[in-house]
Structure 1
Amino acid sequence: MFPSRHVRAALGLATTALLVAGCGDAGALRSAGPTATAVGPVRLWPQLAPASTPALDYGVADTETVRGVTVAGDDVHRVPPLDVFRAEVAAHPDTYSGPNALYAPTRERLADCGKKGTAGRRCPLLDAYYRDLTGDGRDDMVLGIRFPGDQLAVRVYTVEHHRLVQVMGTSDSVISVELAGRDVLIRSPSTLPGYEFRTVWTWDAHQHAMLASRDEILRTGTAPPRRRVSPVPSKSA
């Protein structure tokens, strides 16, 4: 099929424009201006000996096999989220039981949860979400649990060797929780006005756990104006 008359005319005009434009150009290279000098990294205090002990346990894997919960067909969708949370409460009596337990109010509010999961305003368990975070082709379970003091616990569970395993557990004051690809992004408030923290949790195949792979402080708005300091008048002689 040949192009229409209008198309052939347009192509002819475009070709003519290119030829005319090329008449005044000899094809020589043109300078793009001065190039900034590359500055490499500078190591500070090279005389310091490397540390022999880790500074923080930031990359320590937080994993735990959930006891008393079966995974039918290795399908995490068939595991009741409420059973998972109840198993956590039973496995950590010092945390959830007794008058001095930090999360005793959370355990007491379990009575407001329905048989299948969340129900009632006081139920601490939020709706479960499912996403393949480990890259094995199967969905994993993400749970959110409201703790006292406006704290939110985030848990991630996967199936390993026919068992349910918690591969991530953290709690903090939270602005929002997001799933981005295979990452869990948690935004938290900062004491600095106009800023917030964002922590990215990523699956680590060596640790078999979700690790905090990136922790950032981000500008989110207009910071308050800096207070001007008036100069101190000098004392006269």
Structure 2
Amino acid sequence: MAIFINENTRVIVQGITGKQGQFHTSQMITYGTKIVAGVSPGKGGQQVENIPVYDSVFMALEEQPADAGILFVPASFAKEAAFEGIDAGLKLLVCITEHIPLHDAAKIMSFAQKRGTTVVGPNTFGIISSGKCKIGIMPNQFYVPGNIGVVSRSGTLSYEIVGNLLGAGMGTSTVVGMGGDRIVGLDFVEVLKEFEKDPQTEVIVMVGEIGGTSEEEAANFIKDNISKPVVAYLAG
């Protein structure tokens, strides 16, 4: 099992022709992710890693049905790109972009909620169901299938923890990056709910940071709702 994404998830990359978009598209394909299309306005008809590029998400979905999207776009264009993906019907949107203006981020979350789209981030390293699908920028070599679910606000700390787990002979079920900006989509509680329901996940690791109340809210939720062991680390 996996949460949010699996081996059948079909992914669109918005901003695929940029340097970061090209590099991480290659890495996701190498991991086994089904990248079916890229979007870059004005560059429709090109290809990146043999993936067709379209001028809009709507045009891409007409020829390449997809469930999820990942954004590699500048902060000033992130709201427009996110709205396009949500409006086109993508059910999961991973927003790598950081420093999105707060008003833009709030509008993205409001629109996503109305349309039933799950947003991961912004300022996230993404989400990966080990051995099945990666939608993000995490290093491929650390993620092997196992029974530990990880949810983290920090990218680098999550890499270190997952790397240490791997060194100890342990793997992960799904790893979720909540994102480091002030306004994000998925929060600890939403991810904890999914891990609790996931039969593959037997242990949960939470990585928090100072600032905000999400860690306290998660702790209160865990007391009454999570039956699985939870190991939490709060940085800072």
TM-score norm. by structure 1 comes to 0.25
Q: Point out the structure with max Rg over C-alpha.
A: 1
Structure showing the higher helix proportion among its residues: 2
Q: 1 or 2 for the larger relative contact order (CA 8 Å, sep ≥6)? A: 2
For normalisation by structure 2, the TM-score amounts to 0.25
